[in-house]
Amino acid sequence: MIKSAIFSWYPWLNFFYKKIIYQFLNKKSYHAFIFCSINGIGTISLVYALVKWIFCTNKKDIYSCNKCSNCLLIETKNHPDLYIIKNNKININISVEVIRNIINTIYKYSYKDIGKVIWLPYAQQLNMFSSNAILKVLEEPSQKTWFFLQCNNINDLLPTITSRCQIWYIYPPNEDIGIFWIKQQSNNIINKKIIQTALRIFNNSPIYAYKILNNPIWENRKILYKILLSSLKNDIMDLMLILNNKDILLYLNWVYLILLDITKFHLKINKKYFYNIDQLYFINKISDLIILDNIILIIKKILYYRSLLIDINLINRELVLIKFLLSIEKILKCK
């Protein structure tokens, strides 16, 4: 039985795990929990660990055994008393019928009589009707039934739901912990400034930062900035060469972030607060080409056209991109 860190893979979750488990041990735990966090910090792993501990038949203190039949069933996502409610299409709501069917099952006998867990990893998928349906069972829960709801923004849930749950804000680790963890996973072969940049770009999410650093697309970021610099000097439409592809939202975000850094540069803000601390060369060069007022206007255009690409299904990406670049060209001509 391992008794070191609960999460050797995501050690920053240990604090939250222990606090919640000690509530159970001290008989002061809630029956419903909301975990509010950004993506990419392992909150799903935290919930799995809590669920495993609840069902474990051979637990010792705060540790689950990882060997009993319940632990193994949780690991394979096949436990009959664990109900994971989600719609595989993120933008589609969970129907009220799904919630009602789950509610009907929780009043039946549980496997090995330990209890039942209802888990909504994307609680924002609840609509008004399904929210009201789950609210009823939260108000009068059956014995030994626990609810775990996850969201990115607490305001996505009805206040009547949040008032009946214990809310946990799972925050990302500080930058030093993120750097240390990524260096461990990478055998210390990645430069610290590059790791810092990846962490800042991805809201201090070590998991996302580690994934992007090990993805070939990360090399395209420097290519993007080269083309951006060249296109600002020559023809802004040259950006079509790299932006017009399935990764356009990622690339637009990278352009947006370096423009924020250039804004900071113009305002003489300390470079330690930059996102792209590994690309100071491009920040300096681009800042010589664009005045501050125009940078702000371009940033507004990026946010506008990015929202179009996100919000409108089947939109013509190439047409949106052309209009976006023409709007930048117009801004640049008004020096």
Q: Is 319 exposed, middle or buried (0-12, 13-18, 19+ CB in 10 A)?
A: exposed
Question: pLDDT, tens digit, for every residue of 30-75?
Answer: 899 999 999 999 999 999 999 999 999 999 899 999 999 999 999 8
Query: Under 8 Å CB-to-CB from 253, ≥6 apart: which residues?
Result: 201, 306
What is the rounded distance in angstroms from the CA atom of residue 207 to the CA atom of residue 243? 25
Q: Which residues contact 36 (CB under 8 A, 6 or more apart)?
A: 150, 151, 152, 153, 154, 167, 168, 169, 170
Phi and psi based region of residue 153 (left: phi greater than 0; alpha: psi -120 to 50; beta: remaining)? beta
Q: How far apart are CA 23 and CA 144, in angstroms?
A: 15
pLDDT at 4 over 70: no
Tell me which of 5-9, 73-77, 146-150, 201-205 is least confident.
5-9
By the 8 A CB rule, do 6 and 13 touch?
yes
- How does pLDDT run across 74-125, given as a tens digit for each residue? 988 889 999 999 887 766 789 999 998 888 887 776 777 788 999 999 999 9
Whether the model clears a pTM of 0.95, i.e. scores above it, the answer is: no
Q: What is the mean pLDDT of the chain?
A: 91
Taking 90 as the threshold, does the pLDDT of residue 278 lie above it?
A: yes
Q: 203, 218 in Cβ contact below 8 A?
A: no
Query: Among 195, 241, 235, 192, which residue's Cα sits nearest to residue 220?
Result: 241
Mean pLDDT calculated for residue range 255-280: 97
